[in-house]
């Protein structure tokens, strides 16, 4: 998937959309899990599920449009770009099988290609954009690589920045020091392997450096990955891989249970190591001061618990795309993630996007002091605003209505479980029976205005 994503990002249309709108740098594991789930739905046996997912993806892509750094327009509905996404997935699967010592026979390759063409057709795109036969696919693929792909900013970020700053996946977030040490070694290796696996024509045109020994390393890595076929049968389904990225509290996967137990032990070991490590207590007042405003940091609230300071809230919650500024793509990413997790259909999805768009207009009007069309961390921290305006209240109301399936203006235990355990993968509060509209809105506003440090919404908008 990493290799296919690089080839996708090298397409000018896709690369521009990724740079402007995607959260793959700040929330890569979340993005990967969503991709896993979407692919599973699109290639599953249930035609109704496939059509519903195709409609959801089309709504998502229709909202992605703008211009790139060279003033070239891009659109998430560009037919050639969408065909190229399918092409990269198919070609990367074939390449993976070949490099891992399991090359596909011609008949299997033809069947696989037919399935990818069916996936493309299910999205509603013109079927003629992808060649009908697999033997005609390879000239098409080579032509796009040679004539259309570019060394885009998105491709460079994936190859040379993403792995350097890759956050720990949720199952390993309790051992950040160990993860950082491993990432420092593994990051450059993964980047070199990915570059070596790309088509030679693209590597040459993009000016990607040749690392000595990278080809041998790449072959060894793929052969090692091929050994996955010897793992126990229950470890291989896609849903289990998705669970490893975002574990469900009640998962029955043996792999998830094993990793969860290992994570618990490693977290305890990490906590013990931190206790044994000397801590520099000087200067005493520094932890209580906001670096932007020099004002005291917010302290714990007796009702909502520890509070995030302005810088932390801006970085973890508001700046979803990780570019250091708050603008519409950040809030659109929030709406996209919430609607994906809650599996919203129309018109609830559009109501949610409209509510976030209204909230963005409120924030822009109140905080964009230099008129550049976006809000910087300094502008946000200097104002220290109360973000619970009318538009944000409407956003909470949309979420409440989407959860209140029976329309009785209260979220009962089953609906609460569906929201926080199924959608957000968080355990519910013990003994919970009902959740009123006002209580739901109060909790959501408490999170989105930065008052509470830890809430069920962290799993959706904060975790990577």
Segments of the chain with pLDDT less than 70 = 170-171, 173-174, 234-308, 384-388, 416-433, 449-460, 463-464
Place of tokens 């799993």: 459
Domain ranges of the chain: 2-230, 238-276, 295-461
The whole-number pLDDT of residue 133 equals 95
Distance between CA 39 and CA 53 in Å, rounded?
9
CA atoms within 13 A on the CB side of 163: 20
- Three-state secondary structure call for residue 215: helix
The whole-number pLDDT of residue 289 equals 42
The whole-number pLDDT of residue 241 equals 63
Place of tokens 């822009």: 364
What's phi and psi for 125, nearest 5 deg?
Answer: -85, 160
Q: b/e string for 239-251 if b means 16 or more Cβ within 10 A? A: ebbbbbbbbeeeb
Residue 460, C-beta contacts closer than 8 angstroms, at least 6 positions apart: 337, 338, 341, 423, 424
Distance between CA 190 and CA 385 in Å, rounded?
42
The whole-number pLDDT of residue 258 equals 63
Domain 295-461 - what CATH class? mainly alpha
For residue 273, CA distances in Å to 71, 81, 172, 177, 178 come to 51, 49, 16, 10, 11
**pLDDT tens for residues 37-46?**
888 889 888 9
Place of tokens 């004539």: 147
The pair of three-digit structure tokens given for residue 453, joined into one six-digit string: 């440090």
Total residue length of the chain = 464
Q: Is 216 exposed, middle or buried (0-12, 13-18, 19+ CB in 10 A)?
A: exposed
DSSP readout, 346-414?
TTHHHHHHHHHHHHHHHHHHHH-TT-SSSEEHHHHHHH------HHHHHHHHHHHHHH-TT-SSEEEHH
């Amino acid at each position: 998937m990493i290799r296919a994503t690089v080839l996708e990002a090298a397409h000018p249309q896709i690369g521009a959309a990724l740079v402007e709108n995607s959260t793959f740098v700040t929330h890569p594991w979340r993005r990967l899990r969503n991709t896993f789930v979407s692919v599973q739905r699109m290639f599953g046996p249930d035609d109704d599920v496939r059509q519903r997912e195709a409609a959801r993806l089309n709504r998502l892509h229709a909202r992605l449009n703008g211009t790139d750094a060279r003033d070239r327009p891009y659109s998430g509905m560009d037919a050639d770009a969408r065909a190229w996404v399918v092409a990269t997935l198919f070609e990367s699967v074939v390449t993976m099988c070949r490099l891992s010592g399991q090359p596909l026979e011609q008949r299997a390759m033809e069947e696989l290609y037919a399935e990818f063409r069916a996936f493309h057709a299910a999205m509603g795109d013109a079927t003629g954009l992808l060649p009908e036969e697999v033997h005609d696919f390879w000239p098409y693929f080579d032509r796009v690589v040679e004539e259309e792909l570019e060394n885009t900013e998105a491709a460079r970020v994936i190859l040379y920045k993403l792995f350097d700053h890759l956050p720990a996946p949720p199952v390993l977030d309790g051992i950040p020091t160990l993860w950082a040490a491993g990432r420092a070694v593994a990051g450059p290796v993964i980047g070199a392997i990915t570059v070596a696996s790309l088509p030679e024509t693209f590597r040459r045109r993009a000016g990607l450096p040749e690392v000595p020994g990278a080809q041998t390393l790449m072959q060894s890595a793929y052969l090692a990955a091929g050994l996955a076929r010897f793992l126990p049968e229950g470890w291989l389904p896609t849903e289990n891989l998705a669970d490893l990225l975002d574990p469900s509290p009640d998962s029955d996967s043996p792999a998830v249970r094993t990793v969860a137990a290992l994570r618990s032990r490693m977290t305890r070991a990490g906590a013990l190591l931190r206790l044994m490590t000397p801590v520099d207590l000087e200067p005493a007042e520094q932890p209580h001061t906001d670096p932007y405003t020099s004002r005291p940091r917010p302290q714990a609230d007796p009702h909502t618990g520890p509070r995030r300071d302005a810088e932390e809230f801006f970085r973890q919650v508001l700046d979803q795309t990780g570019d250091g500024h708050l603008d519409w793509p950040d809030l659109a990413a929030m709406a996209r993630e919430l609607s994906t997790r809650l599996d919203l259909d129309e018109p609830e999805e559009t109501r949610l996007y409209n509510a976030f768009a209204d909230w963005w207009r409120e924030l822009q009007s109140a905080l964009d002091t230099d008129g550049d069309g976006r809000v910087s961390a300094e502008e946000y921290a200097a104002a220290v605003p109360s973000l619970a305006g009318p538009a944000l209240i409407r956003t909470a109301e949309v979420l409440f209505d989407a959860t209140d399936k029976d329309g009785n203006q209260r979220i009962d235990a089953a609906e609460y479980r569906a929201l926080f355990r199924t959608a957000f993968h968080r355990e519910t509060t013990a003994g919970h029976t009902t959740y009123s509209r006002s209580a739901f809105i109060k909790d959501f506003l408490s999170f989105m205005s930065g008052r509470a440090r830890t809430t069920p919404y962290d799993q959706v908008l904060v975790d990577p």
